[in-house]
Structure 1
Amino acid sequence: MFTSIRCQLGLVSKSKSSIKNKRFIHQTSFLLQKQLKNSSTSSLFGDITEIDTEIKKKSNDFSDSLQSMNEKFDINKITLKNDEKLQEFIGHKPTSAVDKLLTPLKKQLYEANVASNGFFKNNQIITLNGEQYKLKLTREEIDVLEPSLYVKSYRIKSSVKKATIFLRFIRNMNVKQAITQGQFHSKKIGREVSQLLSDSLKSAPELNLNPNELYISQIWSGSDGSWVKRVDPKGRGRSGVIHHPYIHIRAILKTSITQKRLAWEKSQKEVERKPRFQLPNEKLRFKLDGHYKW
């Protein structure tokens, strides 16, 4: 049966060694070089496939346009407002949260309130252009108006449980004091947090914020992306999987204006609180009986 198949293919051989040593397909390097020279596309499959010349032209045009843009514009001077291509892609000009939530009159009243008191006092009467107004803002509107700095980190090799222990410790602390605590703290996450906060102080002058007055209003951590897995070998031929956790840290830094407002609101609550009595300050209108009845 096997000999008949080999006869049809023209590969009849009695010894196995001759079959092993035989090379069915063979092409020298000279023939390959000759084929590459003759083909127009300089590839082995040049006769089958052809490269589209239009794709080459488009790629060259795109690279030329990028070079012309670099010569025309300075990348360091491009911002969100003067980038025309970005504005066309967005479709509308981005508006700030202050413009969305507050009217121009409310912003004027807020600025007058801060100028007179040093910080914002809610439900206070303000005189503006010879008229009196009573401004009352919600918590969301106050957070938008007060200056703040949002900070975020990259992937950090740690867990949420370990990071939360240190983050609770530095919450409501001055930023420079928190950086010092992170450098000398026993937790490894402290150095990562101190590096994050020190980088945020560099961007504070760009937003007209005083780095000495910044404090940590909110700071939290969360799981970041996919975790790295590793095999955990165990006894008796078994194995498990170790997950290496990665987290990110987010923080909101605020100024002393917010601290003064919170202290004033706390004192106002104490003033408005009613006095507490251990017993009601009223006359007894019933007869007291003894504890034992027999």
Structure 2
Amino acid sequence: MLNLRSPLGLLTKFSAQSSQRLIHSSAIRANQSGSLFGDITQVTESPKQKGDFSDSLQTVNEKFDINKVTIENDEKLQQYIGHKPTSAVDKLLTPLKKQLYQLNVNQNGFFKNNQIVTMDGEQYKLKLTQEEIDVLEPSLYVKSYRIKGSVKKATVFLRFIRNMNVKQAITQGQFHSKKIGREVSKLLSDSLKTAPELKLNPDQLYISQIWSGSDGTFVKRVDPKGRGRTGIIHHPYIHVRVILKTPVTLKRLAWEREQKEELRKPRVQLHDEKLRFKVEGHYKW
């Protein structure tokens, strides 16, 4: 085997019997198509897809319409963002349980557990756990992005607005001394825009649950000090989660308190038990 040097690089000659064709750089200059093998290979341009979004950006004569691609008609963007907001009743319950649940709510104004409902001349009783009732009631779950702050400082404000009307909490957050107040007010303002999609009245929503937690690792920074010493400053980031509910939940909670009060035994000072001390015939003041 013999190696020969050419202007295009290293060529290998295997034997004297095999036919060899030397390639020169002058052939490439003469070839207008730019192909390495001359007229043997024809360069064809790949056909462009019609209606491609990238073509409309690269064309010079055609003006690009910014309304051509929107959030609603972009299928790939919709897959990345996720599904549209849907109620838990339509998502979790079977068709029969869904009908019984809606009949119970329409009859009582809220869901009463273990209540008999008549449908098509037959009586049914739907029993749900406390967790299932909380999930199925009209609610709105909202979560924030990373917020610079600490959980300890945020909890002071979050406890203050708990069980408060959403619009009243937004007003409190805008004028609060803590920075987390303005971030939470922005989060609650965005949640009011999503409420009509779930057929919820923004004026009647209240904060049922709100909490915060650490969001990832802390960002560290060098803190220079005197006499050649240094320290480390930790910048914490947190997230805020909110569950908003309607007056339907308040009606159910009030009804459950009444039922619990009715089932409570009467309070007596002396229980129905034997006395473990000696009863004397006179009082000791």
TM-score w.r.t. the length of structure 2 is 0.68
Alpha-carbon distance change, 189 to 121 in structure 1, aligned in 2, over 3 angstroms: same
Distance 1:96 1:199 in 2: 18
Alpha-carbon distance change, 177 to 97 in structure 1, aligned in 2, over 3 angstroms: closer
Alpha-carbon distance change, 268 to 99 in structure 1, aligned in 2, over 3 angstroms: same
| Contact 1:123 1:136 (C-alpha < 8 Å) held by counterparts | yes
Alpha-carbon distance change, 63 to 279 in structure 1, aligned in 2, over 3 angstroms: farther
Unaligned 5+ residue runs, structure 1? Answer: 1-37, 39-53
Which position in structure 1 is the counterpart of 2:72?
77
2:178 to 187, 195, 205: 187
Tell me how far 1:186 sits from its aligned partner: 2.3
Tell me how far 1:280 sits from its aligned partner: 1.5
| Contact 2:87 2:198 (C-alpha < 8 Å) held by counterparts | no
Which position in structure 2 is the counterpart of 1:163?
154
Distance 1:63 1:159 in 2: 52
Identity %: 71
Tell me how far 1:99 sits from its aligned partner: 5.8
Distance 2:231 2:274 in 1: 74
| Contact 1:155 1:247 (C-alpha < 8 Å) held by counterparts | yes
Distance 2:78 2:228 in 1: 58
Unaligned 5+ residue runs, structure 2? Answer: 1-28, 30-42, 57-63, 281-285
SS at match of 1:204: helix
Tell me how far 1:158 sits from its aligned partner: 0.9
Which position in structure 1 is the counterpart of 2:131?
140
**Cα RMSD between the aligned structures?**
3.5
| Contact 1:151 1:251 (C-alpha < 8 Å) held by counterparts | yes
Give the AA of the match of 2:269: Q
Q: Which has the higher helix share?
A: 1
SS at match of 1:264: helix
SS at match of 1:76: coil
Aligned length, in residue pairs? 226
Which position in structure 1 is the counterpart of 2:101?
110
Q: Deviation string for 1:46-67 (max 9, x for gaps)?
A: xxxxxxxx9xx88x96897444
Tell me how far 1:77 sits from its aligned partner: 2.7
| Contact 1:148 1:254 (C-alpha < 8 Å) held by counterparts | yes
Which position in structure 2 is the counterpart of 1:288?
278
Q: Deviation string for 1:148-201 (max 9, x for gaps)?
A: 111111221210110011111111111111112212222221111112111211
Which position in structure 1 is the counterpart of 2:35?
none
Which position in structure 2 is the counterpart of 1:47?
none
Give the AA of the match of 1:77: E
| Contact 1:178 1:194 (C-alpha < 8 Å) held by counterparts | yes
